[in-house]
Structures are given as structure tokens and as C-alpha cells.
Amino acid sequence: MLVVLVCGWMRYSKARSGRVTRILLNLCASLIILLIVLYIAETFADSRLGCRVANVFRYYLVLVSLFWNGVEAHNMYRMLIKVFDPGQQSHFVLKAAVVAWGLSCSFSFVKSENIDFLGFILLFKLATQFIV
């Protein structure tokens, strides 16, 4: 269903022009890639290294999807609550893409280095304080 949605958005150039559409396209892309990785990760579960690599990709793509949900929530907040704010953010989607795709990558590599889960949660809370 997500593939049909993305193909429909790609077909019409007028639909691709908005900020909300670009955010949702990135969210759909991350979810499609996550579903593909979840589907093919089963074949790599035979070895310890393959299982670890598949888990790193899963962590990464889940975090990317969560970050894009957060970006969409922040965008909706700016559109609905801060209606009378005269300042527009330039290149909002580009900045959000750097945060969503890049910061998730750093968290995934930190998790893959055998740092305990409590340290990962503390690192995530610390990073999210600086984003907002």
C-alpha cells in the first residue's frame, strides 16, 4: 500500500511541491525500506555477524521512522499552533532530513558497539533536548 501511495505522489508534480508531502514521502520511504529489511533479515539470521548487521539496520530504520514522525509532529505544531509566527524556516525539510537520517545513523552505530541499553536511552534523551 505504501508503494502505491509513493507512486501516486511521484506521478503528480503538483502533489510533490509541499513541505508536508516531502516529509510524508520520506516517512513512507523509511517505512518501505524497513519492511524490506524485516522481510529479508530472516535470511541473514544463520550467522552471528549477519544477525548483528540485520539488527543494526532494523534499529536504524525504526529510529528514522520515529524521527520522521517527530518531524511531522513538529511541522503540524508550527502550522496549527504558531499560525501568527512571521518567521519561516528556510530549508526545513533538508534540515529535518539531516537530523532524521543522520542522527539515527549515529545512534545505530552507538548501539552496535555493545553499549548497554540504559546508556543508549540516556544518549537519546540528551540528543533530543538539543533538537527541540
Q: Is the pTM of this model over 0.85?
A: no
Residue 130's pLDDT band, with cuts at 50, 70 and 90, is: low
pLDDT computed for residue 72 by the predictor: 92
E strands in 11-132: none
Please state, in angstroms and rounded to a whole number, the distance separating the CA atoms of residues 30 and 96: 14
Instruction: Work out the pLDDT band at 14, boundaries 50, 70, 90.
Output: low
pLDDT 10s digits, 53-67 = 788 888 889 999 999
- Indicate the pLDDT class of residue 25, thresholds 50, 70 and 90: confident
pLDDT digits 0-9 by tens, 65-111: 999 999 999 888 888 877 766 566 778 888 888 888 888 877 776 66
Give the whole-angstrom CA distance, residue 98 versus residue 106. Answer: 12
Distance CA 107, CA 120 (A): 8
